[in-house]
Structure formats: structure tokens, C-alpha cells
Amino acid sequence: MCIAVPAEILEIKEGNIAHVDYGELQQDVRIDLVDVAVGDYVLVHVGFAIQKLSRDDALETRELFRQCYAAMEEEA
């Protein structure tokens, strides 16, 4: 199964690279596949932003991931 994670674009660098924030982690990703600006939210899969999405959808997805991880920790 493949999972894409929502991230916010913090900075756009030369060479179609963006510095993004996942909420508790930041990293550089490729933005060759999407037209984005600082402040936009994207889905990131294997280091590539593959789709732009709304802030509300991004934050809702982050919350769902948080709930899933919390439930897994409770079972461990």
C-alpha cells in the first residue's frame, strides 16, 4: 500500500525543490509535478509533491493519521 502525507510548503528553492512541514517534521521535496506557492498544502509521496490540496483537507488528514498512530500505540 502506498501512502501520501500532507505537508505545507514553507519555502520554494531553486531546481523545483520545496521545503515542507509535515507538522512535526520538515524536509525538502520535489515539486516538478505540481504548481504551488508558499503556504499551499500538498500530498507528498516518496519525496515528490504529487497533488495540491486545501488546508482543511490537509489538516483533517493529519488528524486522521494522528488518531491511527495513537490507536496503534495503545494496542502495543
Strand locations in the chain (E): 5-13, 17-21, 26-30, 41-45, 48-53
pLDDT tens by residue, 65-76: 999 989 999 887
pLDDT tens by residue, 34-47: 999 999 999 999 99
Percent of the chain with pLDDT strictly greater than 70: 100
pLDDT tens by residue, 6-34: 999 999 999 999 999 999 899 999 999 99
Structural domain boundaries, residue 29:
5-75
**Residue bearing the bigger pLDDT, 61 or 76:** 61
Cell numbers placing 10: 514553507
Q: CATH number for the domain including 48?
A: 2.30.30.140
- Bridge partner list, 44: 5, 49
pTM for this model (two decimals): 0.89
Count of domains forming the chain: 1
Measure the CA–CA gap between 70 and 9, rounded to whole angstroms.
26
